[in-house]
Amino acid sequence: MSSPPVRAAVTGRSLGLRVCTRCRATLRGIAAAAQRCPRCRSPVHVRRPHSLATTASLVITAAILYIPANVLPVMRTHTFLSDQDDTIMSGVISLAHSGSWPVALLVFFASIVVPLLKLIALGEIVIAVSRRSVRQPEQRSRLFRVVEYVGRWSMLDVFAMSLLVALVQVQSLATVEVRPAALAFAGVVVLTMLAAQSFDERLLWDGESRG
Amino acid sequence: MSVIVCHACDLAHREDGIVPAARVRCVRCRAELYRTSAAGVDTAIALALAALVLFIIANAYPLVAFKVNGTTRMATLTGAALGLYDQGYATLGLLVTFTAVLVPLTQILAFLYVLVPVRLGFRAPGQERLLRVLTALRPWGMSEVFVLGAIVALVKLSSEAEVAPRIALVAYGLLMLMLAAMASVTPTEQFWRWINRRHR
């Protein structure tokens, strides 16, 4: 907990002070004008250049990949009787049918709900900032932090798949094979993580500081 | 008068107005400005050493066993990544290796590389850059997601075959706890205070 600031909405920018977003050091004294953080040597900016454009393009790319990732099969199971293709959703359904409800729910959230929520949330944030919306920076920053935190959990299915592929290689009995949509799925996870990392959170608050 | 600027919303805080606490948050956006930890360098080194031992076990032994028709198949961590590579999905194999193996290993080694010299009273060359890399890598270390992914794979197979977790999965689960403990005893500020007393 901390006491009130110097005055309402006195910002680093209004004081001519910059902060390193990597190690969180405030640059002051002789270092105040340096190109790089004196502590960790990361580049320091008043606002990260092209942050909004980078985030927006990554979100759009991820949104396009989200479609094949969910519509096309990510895995194929060969058995001596038949071949079965599984999408992310059909994998969840077969888990639920085999009676493992908690695990099915977990995979459903990590693989379907979380990526979709990330795309919607990041899209909303990008649109709000590009329209210079000054309302609700508190809610948006809370939303952004949730997105940043839960993003990595979508890798769950990729890890599960890697183990299934390694284990189920019993020639003539059963083998598990990866299908191309798995790449699209991993792409969604990685690109949305990069999108969140390239976003400069301070953009959410700039309207407030001006007004 | 010294000022601390919030990295997340750019609000300026007067340093002498901040009430000392274990965790200091921005008054406007609630982002963590800094956090302190009572743990010493020795604790951090001990955790990193334990993590290193667990990492070796987790990589050297099988994670899961799969029994079908009287024969048993084992999967190791590297086997899981190589399986993806063999099927022509080198990118996926690399992603799994990076997030589940390389990032945790880099974290452990960088920790020891920087902190052992701190303990002995000298500076490791290049420590600033290494700590910067360490901060950048933090979101990409996915040991806890991997553990859960392994459990999901076990559940998926359990309806069709006899599967069992093996020693490496237990080691990996403990490694996950060690990595979390390492992160919690070394807030960014603490790290910098240990290695570089000129700043803050």
Nearest CA in chain A to B132: A40
**Whole-complex ipTM:** 0.91
Q: Are residues A18 and A54 in the same domain?
A: no
Question: Domain residues for A24?
Answer: 1-46
**Amino acid occupying residue B54:** L
Q: Are residues A30 and A58 in the same domain?
A: no
CATH of the domain at A162: 1.20.140
> Distance from A41 to chain B by nearest Cα, in Å?
7
Q: Are residues A188 and A156 in the same domain?
A: yes
Tell me, what DSSP letter sits at residue B124? P
Report which listed range, A170-179, B7-16, B21-30, B98-107, is most confident. Answer: B98-107
Q: Could you give the CA distance from residue A57 to residue A199 in angstroms, rounded to a whole number?
A: 11
Percent of chain A surpassing pLDDT 70: 94
pLDDT bucket at B44, cuts 50 / 70 / 90 = very high
Q: Could you give the CA distance from residue B22 to residue B136 in angstroms, rounded to a whole number?
A: 24
At B147-183, the pLDDT tens digits run 999 999 999 988 878 899 999 999 999 999 999 999 9
Q: Could you give the CA distance from residue A89 to residue A97 in angstroms, rounded to a whole number?
A: 12
Q: Are strands A83-86 and A169-170 parallel, antiparallel or unpaired?
A: unpaired
Angle at which helices A51-71 and A181-198 pack, to 10 degrees? Answer: 160
DSSP H helical segments within B6-102, as ranges? 41-60, 77-86, 90-97
Q: Are residues A128 and A94 in the same domain?
A: yes
Residue B48, both tokens? 């990193």
Domain count along chain A: 2
For residues B68 and B144, the model is more confident at B144
A134 touches chain B (CB under 8 A): no
Q: Are residues A132 and A40 in the same domain?
A: no
Question: CB neighbours of B71 closer than 8 A, spacing ≥ 6?
Answer: A170
pLDDT number for residue B72: 85
Please report, in angstroms and rounded to a whole number, the separation of the first and last CA atoms in chain B: 14
pLDDT number for residue A68: 97
For residue A78, the tally of other CB atoms under 10 A from its CB is 15
Are the beta carbons of A199 and A125 closer than 8 angstroms?
yes
> Distance from B113 to chain A by nearest Cα, in Å?
16
Q: Are residues A113 and A35 in the same domain?
A: no
Q: Are residues A61 and A104 in the same domain?
A: yes
Q: For chain A, how many residues are written?
A: 211
pLDDT number for residue A22: 87
Final residue of a structural domain among A46, A61, A79: A46
B196 touches chain A (CB under 8 A): yes
A207: burial class by Cβ within 10 Å (0-12, 13-18, 19+)? middle
- Chain A partners of B127 at a C-beta cutoff of 8 Å? none
Q: Which residues lie across from A75 on neighbouring strands? A: A86, A178
pLDDT number for residue A211: 47
**pTM to 2 decimal places:** 0.91
Residues 25-54 on A with a CB inside 8 Å of B are 25-26, 28, 38-42
H-helix or E-strand containing A171? Answer: none
Give me the residues of chain A with pLDDT under 70, please: 1-8, 171-172, 209-211
**Which of B5, B140, B160 has its CB closest to that of A12?**
B5
Q: Whole-number mean pLDDT of chain B? A: 90
Q: Could you give the CA distance from residue B52 to residue A210 in angstroms, rounded to a whole number?
A: 50
Ranges assigned E (strand) in chain B: 3-5, 12-14, 23-25, 32-35, 64-68, 71-75, 162-165
Q: Are residues A62 and A159 in the same domain?
A: yes
B100 touches chain A (CB under 8 A): yes
